[in-house]
Amino acid sequence: MSADLIKLSQVVRKQGAFELRVPSWRVGPGEVVGLVGPNGAGKTTLLRLVAGLDSPTGGEIAVVGLDPVREHTRVRSQCAFMWDDQPVFKAPIGRMLHLLSGYYPSWDSALVETLLERFDLSPQATPGQLSRGQGTRLRLLIALAWRPRVLLLDEPAAGLDLSGRQALLESVIEVAGSGDRSVVISSHQLADVERICDRLLVLNKGQVVQEGPTDTLVATERTLEEAMVAWGAA
């Protein structure tokens, strides 16, 4: 079995009065994992820890076998983190993508062309001309373009209409479908999460409420939303 791409053990992160605790969590190659819970549950905090943007107060984190804080550059060369208000260059999209391609040896120009068409983005447009949904699609394109081994998505459907969400889901499935890459997606679009995620990690007030295969945690007679209510994590 291939090594886990994300592995957490006894992780604690304290921020003022808030405390996140994740005793154990693993994400293997080819998995799409849904990170769900109410606002303030600790989802973004967890993603920032995995991305190496914050340090844990205690415990151990390994991403592609490396410590994401001590070996931040090496981890981020294989791990992309996309969030809703992530800053982007103000240059036209085509020029921006050309500049970014120089930073990533694994940049896939053919994939970029496919995603520009799928996400209905014009290379001539500037970020200031984009709607919120278009801005979200641009950030997702940048995260996908260099084919990272680990893809972390924090509310990637923000501002997207139905067609935009369908394009997002299609892209996420393709990333994980290669079998050697993993996706962790934090989203309030529970129907989308239930549809594409192999596993779930459910947080509430900084605690792990549920963790495991989606089809095991969510019974056939109820939806993920209904399960969240039953778990007290809605």
**What would the pLDDT profile of 115-158 be if each residue is shown by its tens digit?**
999 999 999 999 989 998 899 899 999 999 999 999 999 998 88
Contact present, 131 and 123 (Cβ < 8 Å): no
How many domains is the chain partitioned into structurally? 1
More confident residue, 156 or 21: 21
Q: Please report the pLDDT score of residue 190 as a whole number.
A: 93
117-128 pLDDT, tens digit per residue, is 999 999 999 998
CATH number at residue 57: 3.40.50.300
pLDDT-based confidence at residue 92 (cuts at 50, 70, 90): very high
pLDDT at 78 over 50: yes
Question: Would residue 171 count as lying in a domain?
Answer: yes
Q: For residue 40, is pLDDT > 70?
A: yes
Token duo for residue 64: 């592609």
User: pLDDT grade, residue 160 (50/70/90)?
Assistant: confident
Q: State pLDDT tens for residues 186-202.
A: 999 999 999 999 999 99
Identify whether 1 is part of a domain: no
Per-residue pLDDT at 2 exceeds 80: no
Residue 97 reports pLDDT greater than 90:
yes
143 closest CA partner among 106, 178, 177: 106
Residue type at 20 in one-letter notation: L
* Average pLDDT of the segment spanning 215-231: 90
The answer to whether position 146 is within a domain reads yes
Rounded to whole angstroms, the Cα distance separating 189 from 193 reads 6
Residue 166 lies in domain: 6-231
Q: What is the mean pLDDT of residues 52-75?
A: 96
pLDDT (0 to 100) of residue 1: 43
What proportion of the chain, given as a percentage, has pLDDT over 90? 77
Q: Are 214 and 221 in contact (CB under 8 A)?
A: no
Stated pTM of the model: 0.94
